[in-house]
Structure 1
């Protein structure tokens, strides 16, 4: 059986089309290669980026909800900060789940801001982009440890980009091997990788076998490009550890994602957990 059509999907990486592309200025400011300064800093990696949605609607929330409804996505994990996100969370609490942001270079001010986001928005997770910090900060760097400790204290997971970053800057902060030390030092931390873990997807599988609170999400990948190692892991021992995440509208349309999804060779028992169950567990949506 292929992808079922009766599951209320949870997308653990979704957003809203903006008026322009200023949200990516923090990335473009760090790029040295003039050829890399696209509207989307990773635009070179994707075909048919849905750029036409940007600046074309006065109601970006309605645009995203329309796409979610078209493809059976019941809820989406969105950034909590910003006027559009704040309105979406207020007006549609049954459709959107808030995630906070972290910056290890801010020290204790950053930790206090985590608490503020948790108390103000009720965030269910935090997101980290280690290669994108300025200066860059490795996944296992000491500057990250207060963030991990606070996540444990608040009882929320961290979603962190792992593997070679798309933007053209150094990859060392996101080497998958660094996760091993973090999981050793924080066995209570729920750590979800984002953006593929390539070219270390086999290592990511080994680490998930080793650490019970380590998960993998499929953000920023068209399903036909899901790594074979991840599909094999989900179909054998990892059905409880692989989580669906999209990339709309940052680089992929939901139509592209869900059209490709029909051909992913997951076993029947994997689909409900991948599309919904594992996200509900990690984000504690039933508590």
Structure 2
């Protein structure tokens, strides 16, 4: 069992604000989620849970959780600036409004722009997304793209990672992180990372004990700097994720440290 390093980063935490009946949509995948949502989690409770599990910093996500989630996240970041950074889900179907939103998010210190195929029902190489990609390059922001079958019972085809091959070619400067694991297209995700140096991988919404073995192998070999942990809290708890992560077959403590801390720290903050 590995030891948790200092500076553990959770690359995806949701605020205590959700759309109607989220447990109904994805509760079949996450035991205990309904109870966690019914209980609710205050900002102070979230910080306490992070402390108890050994999480130093979290990337809060707004734009999909519900009304007021951006304000909740900004208040959390302002109160605990050493503990939280911000990301936001942008909807490219809103055209120039979405591009101007990216500019506003950059001014507010957001460190990641996320786009969800399950929401937009657009492939990632759709022309509607290209202005967002260009603006992110201009502003130095990475883009997080959900890949793989989504938990909500909506069509999965829009989260096929293969269209990202076109994006990486057209925007070689764009930093991309593949979110939510990519199943059943995990091998495609890994091939994309092997091919394109600016693509990384985030394990959000996947319990570590269920991580595909191809991902662990990649993180132990040529992808040691490209795979980062995320919980998608409250879908998964920090305690469970890090307890299971310590038992994963990483090659060394150094490889484990990169997975739970150093890779996200470098990706989001450059250090």
Whether the TM-score (by the shorter chain) exceeds 0.5 is yes
Aligned residues: 264
Extract unaligned runs of 5+ from structure 2: 63-68
How far apart are the structure 2 equivalents of 1:131 and 1:16? 20
Instruction: Report the alpha carbon displacement of residue 84 of structure 1 after superposing the two structures with TM.
Output: 1.9
Find the counterpart in structure 2 of residue 28 from structure 1.
none
Determine the structure 1 residue equivalent to 2:257: 272
TM-score with structure 1 length normalisation?
A: 0.87
Aligned to 2:127: 142
Please give the secondary structure, in 2, of the residue aligned with 1:147: helix
Shift of 1:86: 1.8
Instruction: Map 1:1-287 to 2 at 5 A.
Output: 2-18=1-17, 23-25=18-20, 39-49=23-33, 51-54=34-37, 56=39, 60-79=42-61, 81-119=69-107, 121-133=108-120, 136-249=121-234, 251-268=235-252, 269-286=254-271
Q: Which residue of 2 aligns with 1:33?
A: none
Q: CA deviation at 1:101?
A: 2.4
Distance 2:267 2:22 in 1: 34
Change (3 A) 1:62 1:40: farther
Distance of 1:208 and 1:285 partners within structure 2: 19
Between the aligned partners of 1:139 and 1:149, the Cα distance in structure 2 is: 13
CA-based RMSD: 1.7
Deviation at 1:253, TM superposition (A): 1.7
Q: 2 CA distance for matches of 1:275 and 1:7?
A: 10
8 Å contact 1:9–1:72 — kept in the other structure? yes
TM-score for both structures, normalised by structure 2: 0.92
Separation in structure 2 between the aligned mates of residue 56 and residue 226 of structure 1, nearest angstrom: 28
How far is the alpha carbon of 1:48 from its aligned partner?
A: 2.3
